[in-house]
Chain A
Amino acid sequence: EDQVTQSPEALRLQEGESSSLNCSYTVSGLRGLFWYRQDPGKGPEFLFTLYSAGEEKEKERLKATLTKKESFLHITAPKPEDSATYLCAVQAHSWGKFQFGAGTQVVVTP
């Protein structure tokens, strides 16, 4: 059965303390893996798309990487404004639609 699992569920960081979020997936024929950021009371906001193992994407303090079984979202020297819930989603060739993980809630304190 296709699954998307994110860990940890919650992460509390001090400002400047780098860390990584994990998104592991089991899917036959990955078409794409997507990362989103969601602020409280708002809809998810697109961050990255990764299509093949070894691919990396960067945006400001965020860097996403992809292997055949998981993706990491690295947050380098985070700031309080990086506090949000980070969601990953996978899309398989066979069903085309997105399947989301439950998310990692990140809190960055000054």
Chain B
Amino acid sequence: IAGITQAPTSQILAAGRRMTLRCTQDMRHNAMYWYRQDLGLGLRLIHYSNTAGTTGKGEVPDGYSVSRANTDDFPLTLASAVPSQTSVYFCASSAEGSYNEQFFGPGTRLTVL
């Protein structure tokens, strides 16, 4: 089934540890995004990529990094996790850049202790 997969589904992480959240899409979409979702704050954009090889900062990029080596994969890395990064993380993609609707993955629930 075409769509977006994310891994892991959930993770508990000690503060200070490095963590990479994985995201893969098989729709050949050019644009991909990482959001975090916190209660009462909605979805906030962390980083985005309009096409393979390019990335950009969203609303809340501090403490996170991304890479886009190919069309399908868009990993999100927390270099040194902090408790404020406890959240649910969603990866999304859209065709033809950012003009079209986004399709979301199932999310990764991350707890940083």
- Give the residues in chain B near A45, CB-CB below 8 Å: 104
Hey, which chain A residues are within 8 Å of B99, CB to CB? 31-32, 91, 96
Known: A42-B106, A43-B106. A100 touches B42 (CB 8 A): yes
Given contacts A42-B106, A43-B106, contact A49 B43 (CB under 8 A): no
Minimal beta-carbon separation of B16 from chain A (angstroms): 28
**Segment 56-97 of B: residues with Cβ below 8 Å from A:** 58-59, 90, 92, 97
Task: List residues of chain A with CB within 8 A of the CB of B58.
Answer: 97
CB-based nearest A residue for B6: A43
From B40, B101, B102, A102 is in contact (CB under 8 Å) with B40
- Measured CB to CB, the residues of B under 8 A from A are 4, 33, 35, 40-45, 48, 58-59, 90, 92, 97-107
10 other contacts beyond A44-B43, A102-B40, A103-B42, with CB at 8 A cut-off?
A43-B105, A46-B101, A46-B102, A49-B100, A91-B99, A96-B99, A98-B33, A99-B45, A100-B35, A100-B44
